[in-house]
Structure formats: structure tokens, C-alpha cells
Structure 1
Amino acid sequence: MFNKYFEEYKIGETWTSTGRTITESDLVMFSSFSGDWFPLHTDKEYAANTHFEQRIAHGMLILSVTTGLLRFEPGIVVAFYGMDKVRFTNPTFIGDTIYLNATVIDLKEKGQSQGVVTVLQEVKKQTEEVVAVLEMKILMNKHTLE
């Protein structure tokens, strides 16, 4: 998705990623890394007694995994610029396969050599239910002629 120069993007342009299945190991490793051991993610018995009836993936785990589904081209991508309007709309369970649909919704010039591409991301699972929605901003280089 982020593999071309700023001025090559068009508002309305779309892209769909490949999928990735969320595993129990993902939840355990993310808990270890982040320190987030909330029982809804890590305690099978606790989660069974919630309205989800089973463990769910951490929202931040889902955002982290979807970052890995994107293509960031070194030399073109300058930096992750931020996220806005993040919402987790449905649970992601162990065994769900997530992917994302992305649509360019805004392009802002940032000086003579860079610009910010804003993409609406809908993270979906195999049932096509949306599990997360956000606007991601990436600072991109412009193509410069020498």
C-alpha cells in the first residue's frame, strides 16, 4: 500500500491485504511483550463467563498485526504519522483470520519534498465483519527529480 511516492496517490484509491490468522500464541506473546494480562485475553474460564464467551484478542494486538499486513517501502515512507478515530467494533477470537481494506481519504502536502497520505482502514475477519476501523496517516516522500 505505501510503496509509491506521495503524488502518485489518488483519493478514493483502494487496496485489500492478504490475511493472517490470530493464534493463542499471538495473545500470549502480546501479553508478555505489552504487560497487558487482562483476563478477557488470557484467562479461558474468566472469558467464558463474559458476553464474548471466549478469549478475545487485544485491540492493540489487532492494530499491530494489521501494520504487518501493509507494505512500507524504505526510501519512500518517511514515518508513521499517527492514527485517528480508532474504534474496535467486533471481537477477534483465536482462530479468526483478519485482513484489511484500505481507502485513501486525504492527501496533504508537507513542504516541497513530503506529504501525508491518510487511509481509512477497515480491519475485517473471515466472516466479513469489521473488527476495527481507523484513519492511518503516513508521512511519504515526494518523487524528486535530480
Structure 2
Amino acid sequence: MGKPPFEKRYFEEFDVGDEFAVEDVRTITDSDINTFAGLTADVHPIHMSDPYVADHPVLEARVAHGTLVFAIVSSWAAGIVLTRLSYGYESVRFVEPVYVGDTLSIYSEVVETSDHSEQFGKVIERYEATNQHDETVLVAEHISLVERRA
């Protein structure tokens, strides 16, 4: 996996309809799930126990943490814009489960721009992540404050 792009982009350079897409960002591994569980103490058996999942036939296998998927998506969808501060998320939905071996692709679109202050404008982007079967697995709406040009 590479790194999200770094860029210095100002509020005035964001337009409604701007799109960013990257395919095959990351394939989820068993190690990803285990490491995330260790970092967050979220050891629910839906993530950690094959026997538990076997008793719940609605699932194909152990499921990646939604917040793990969200962390990957949010870092890539936003890119590393050096002039941006995250102002939060209006919504996050875990639409479909993500399993070990699933490969994520990410799409983002600017859906709104507005004034916020003398120093910052507000940019709202809709993020969507899909798996290798082109199924949507996550959607989110990210609000960020982006520096204005001096």
C-alpha cells in the first residue's frame, strides 16, 4: 500500500463536483483486524472468532471492524491536504461487511463549499468505498475546514 497524496490546496481551489478516486487502495488482512483489535480493545467475536461466526450463518467469515475500514477510507479519500483540518463527519454508514481478502477502492466528491471564517472555508465531501465486487461497503460525509489563500 502506498501513501495518500500530499498537496497544498486552498479553499478557493475546491469546487462542487470535484472528484477523487483511487482503485485497489488496500486489501484487508487478518493482521489488520488483529492489530486493530489490539489497538482499540474491540475484541468482539464477530471480528475475532471463527467458531462464533460459524454459528451466525448470515456472515461469510470474521468481519473487519467498521472503524478500521473507516480509518483507511478517510485517510485516502481526503488525501493529505496540508491546508485542511477535519471538522468532523456528518454521517458514516457501514453498508456491507468487509472480510479478510476484500480490496477497497475509494471515491470522493465535493458536495458543498461554504464560507466559515476569514481564515477558513468549509468543504463537505461524500466518500464511498467499494470492494472488489463493486459493492458499496461504506459511505460517509466529511466536513473539513480549508485555509483560504492569504
Q: TM-score normalised to the size of structure 1?
A: 0.91
C-alpha distance in 2 between matches for 1:97 and 1:53: 16
Is residue 12 from structure 1 mapped to residue 46 from structure 2 by the alignment?
no
Query: 1:2 deviation in Å?
Result: 7.9
Q: Give the ranges of 4+ consecutive aligned residues of structure 1 lying more than 3 Å apart after TM superposition.
A: none
1:143 paired residue number: 149
> What percentage of residue pairs aligned between the two structures are identical?
30
Structure 2 gaps, min length 5: none
Of 98-107 and 62-71, more deviation after overlay is shown by 62-71
Query: 1:137 deviation in Å?
Result: 1.1
Query: 2:75 is aligned with what amino acid?
Result: G
Query: 2:65 is aligned with what amino acid?
Result: H
2:74 paired residue number: 67
Is residue 35 from structure 1 mapped to residue 41 from structure 2 by the alignment?
yes
Structure 1 gaps, min length 5: none
Query: 1:113 deviation in Å?
Result: 1.8
C-alpha distance in 2 between matches for 1:2 and 1:128: 27
C-alpha distance in 2 between matches for 1:14 and 1:2: 16
Q: TM-score normalised to the size of structure 2?
A: 0.88
> How big is the alpha-carbon RMSD for the aligned residues of Structure 1 and Structure 2?
1.5
Is residue 86 from structure 1 mapped to residue 54 from structure 2 by the alignment?
no
Candidates 58, 68, 81, aligned match of 2:65: 58
Query: 1:105 is aligned with what amino acid?
Result: V
Query: 1:109 deviation in Å?
Result: 1.2
Number of residue pairs the alignment of both structures matches? 142
1:25 paired residue number: 31
Cα-to-partner distance string for 1:5-54 (whole Å, 9 max, x where unaligned)? 11111101111024111100010011000010000001011112221131
Query: 1:73 deviation in Å?
Result: 2.7
